[in-house]
Structure 1
């Protein structure tokens, strides 16, 4: 068998990408790029931030709404926080939205609204880590940086039949990916290898028969491709509990709170509630005959499961607390709530 050094993996992937590149609203097609059309760094950056731990299918509509409403980094930088957080609601991992605004404002204020074009400079921006810096510098600026996401890790593990488990094997997988990253068309290559992992070298039932790099794939020859990449066992997620309090006035106004900037759901609107712990205390925002709903909210975050009890009462005429928000029913949009809070709202409305 020829090894990957004798088989030009990069050229094979680029040839395949020229024919089979996925169409995405933030992507410049390979034919257009060959004609001199370069991607908009703003759109590349926005898509990469949205795609962190989120699927392409989930991101498309959000990306279109964001870019229709804020077509440039200047427009996003000038947007009110509440509007941006509201548009982000439902996409999850809300620290990304806070860093999105921070980054847009740094680029607008300190870089004359022009994204820096090198990995090291991009890495200094808020919310941009090693993967995102590599992806932007490669895709937007055609720099030969090594892009390593889950799809690329899987392709490398199978191509070289690497059985060391993730996450410990990341440095080895990156070293293999670096060797294959070409100087010519690195932006297209980065998208090609990600597309390969997303459409052919998939986690389950990889389509090896139509893979453009099947010949040098060591795991295909060994018959181990379905086992790779191996992953270290995950610790079981703990379950936390909490209380949320939904109060509505006779005029339809609702009682809400703005969550602290730091922590889960930072800066988002939500219902007043308790801490999320093993045994949370009941902390209603005002004295009343609070009634608990028979249904509970069940939601899973990255590191834990959450179960919330929902309490309801009538909102009094006097303002309960200065730090809470009384929102007119015409100004309230359920879509502005993060998913876990919207689940509570939907259960309350259904009772």
Structure 2
């Protein structure tokens, strides 16, 4: 394909003059991608912008193998941007459950609504306009328009940064502004005058299949003969890793309210972690952990008071701590099992659901909560029948 763009669309970020321009790089990459790159992924079978956008958002910080079933399930439920925009956000969040980084799902829904309202369901071919929409950054906007419309625009995701750092010997942490600015300059200068789809896909494929973070397959790389990292034996050093930073730790006390074989779930607020998903009721929100982690015993009065809102308590048990790691912090979940003789009518029925704990595997829940419920439901000590 050529770099033709829709009428009135100016190719974005196209290099004019730069010391970093290198036509042989794009030519080599395009030829490699057409022969050895990935061509059978579900989202590659259509240039429809909606499908391309959906795949690019899902692929942010997520492996292809994990994305494929979610992508197919989303298309089955929401075949068009109009269907997605019209869906309740709770349904969208449940479809996303398990894929992680839940802000993406909320932005996905908001973006669909804006595309319908502002652009009558047609995604813009101009990356600058796409960047104004929720959840779409500079690199994602470029990828969407390149694959959908042939717009010439530079991408710079994690895979591309790794390829550039090694091939061109760029030292320094790629997440720092000076290094990232340098890489954006090179990304723009290397853009081809034609074949933007194969070039963009080639950068992604090279980083995902050959120039991997560990154990790169240098012998099969089309740039082996010009790669600085390979020549200098620095593939393990580049790209430079992020400087270590102490990971924050937080704790949350959660109630596992059980009446016979049913468990009470509560819908979380729309913002924050697991926004919009069903989870276990939480006591006073998450707190930063100090050296002396707050004891559940010290909060038992407050726990009992909170639990009594939902029914008559027969027993309370503290279960083992569940630890779940997020990108920026580690969460210690302190689950307290509360057995109820009788349950009360709920004030907010829409925000609470009684569900069978024996079917927890089927519910759209945050991963650590689902694992906890599956474990509890399988324990012989909870013989319901």
Same fold (TM over 0.5): yes
- Higher mean Cα deviation, 304-313 or 41-50? 304-313
* CA-CA distance at 1:80 after TM superposition: 2.1
* CA-CA distance at 1:322 after TM superposition: 3.7
* CA-CA distance at 1:143 after TM superposition: 1.1
Match of residue 353 from structure 2 = 326
- SS of the residue corresponding to residue 295 of structure 1 reads coil
- Shift in alpha-carbon separation, 1:128–1:265, aligned structure 2, 3 A: same
Give the alignment of 1:39-78 within 5 angstroms. 39-78=47-86
- Shift in alpha-carbon separation, 1:308–1:332, aligned structure 2, 3 A: closer
Distance 2:317 2:247 in 1: 26
Residue 80 of structure 1 pairs with residue 88 of structure 2 = yes
The answer on whether the counterparts of 1:4 and 1:217 sit within 8 Å (CA) in structure 2 is: no
Match of residue 365 from structure 2 = 337
Distance 1:232 1:91 in 2: 24
Q: Deviations over 1:294-317 (max 9, x none)?
A: 432211111111111222223433
Q: Deviations over 1:37-68 (max 9, x none)?
A: x6111111111111111111111111111112
The counterpart of 2:307, out of the listed 269, 286, 293, is 286
The answer on whether the counterparts of 2:267 and 2:279 sit within 8 Å (CA) in structure 1 is: yes
- Higher mean Cα deviation, 90-99 or 308-317? 308-317
Match of residue 261 from structure 1 = 270
Match of residue 343 from structure 2 = 317
Match of residue 33 from structure 1 = none
- Shift in alpha-carbon separation, 1:334–1:296, aligned structure 2, 3 A: farther
5+ residue gaps, structure 2, are 1-18, 380-385
The answer on whether the counterparts of 1:161 and 1:225 sit within 8 Å (CA) in structure 2 is: no
The answer on whether the counterparts of 2:264 and 2:355 sit within 8 Å (CA) in structure 1 is: no
* CA-CA distance at 1:70 after TM superposition: 1.4
Match of residue 19 from structure 1 = 35
5+ residue gaps, structure 1, are 29-37
Distance 1:4 1:108 in 2: 40
The answer on whether the counterparts of 1:4 and 1:216 sit within 8 Å (CA) in structure 2 is: no
Give the alignment of 1:131-170 within 5 angstroms. 131-168=139-176, 169-170=179-180
Distance 2:143 2:23 in 1: 25
Match of residue 347 from structure 1 = 375
- Higher mean Cα deviation, 148-157 or 313-322? 313-322
Match of residue 214 from structure 1 = 224
- Higher mean Cα deviation, 274-283 or 291-300? 274-283
Give the alignment of 1:180-219 within 5 angstroms. 180-219=190-229
- Shift in alpha-carbon separation, 1:240–1:328, aligned structure 2, 3 A: closer
The counterpart of 1:115, out of the listed 98, 106, 123, is 123
The answer on whether the counterparts of 2:175 and 2:242 sit within 8 Å (CA) in structure 1 is: yes
- SS of the residue corresponding to residue 44 of structure 2 reads coil
Distance 2:162 2:370 in 1: 35
- SS of the residue corresponding to residue 225 of structure 1 reads coil
Distance 1:142 1:111 in 2: 19
Q: Deviations over 1:142-201 (max 9, x none)?
A: 111111111100110111111122312111122122211112121221110110011111
The answer on whether the counterparts of 2:192 and 2:199 sit within 8 Å (CA) in structure 1 is: yes
Q: Deviations over 1:102-161 (max 9, x none)?
A: 111111222111111111110111111222112112222211111111110011011111
TM-score (norm 1): 0.89
- Higher mean Cα deviation, 194-203 or 332-341? 332-341
Distance 2:21 2:131 in 1: 31
Residue 304 of structure 1 pairs with residue 329 of structure 2 = yes
Distance 2:257 2:232 in 1: 62
The answer on whether the counterparts of 1:153 and 1:229 sit within 8 Å (CA) in structure 2 is: yes
- SS of the residue corresponding to residue 332 of structure 2 reads strand
The answer on whether the counterparts of 1:290 and 1:311 sit within 8 Å (CA) in structure 2 is: no
Distance 1:5 1:124 in 2: 29
- Shift in alpha-carbon separation, 1:208–1:182, aligned structure 2, 3 A: same
Stretches (4+) displaced over 4 A: 3-7, 279-283, 330-334
Distance 1:161 1:74 in 2: 45
* CA-CA distance at 1:253 after TM superposition: 4.1
Distance 1:223 1:143 in 2: 37
Distance 2:120 2:55 in 1: 21
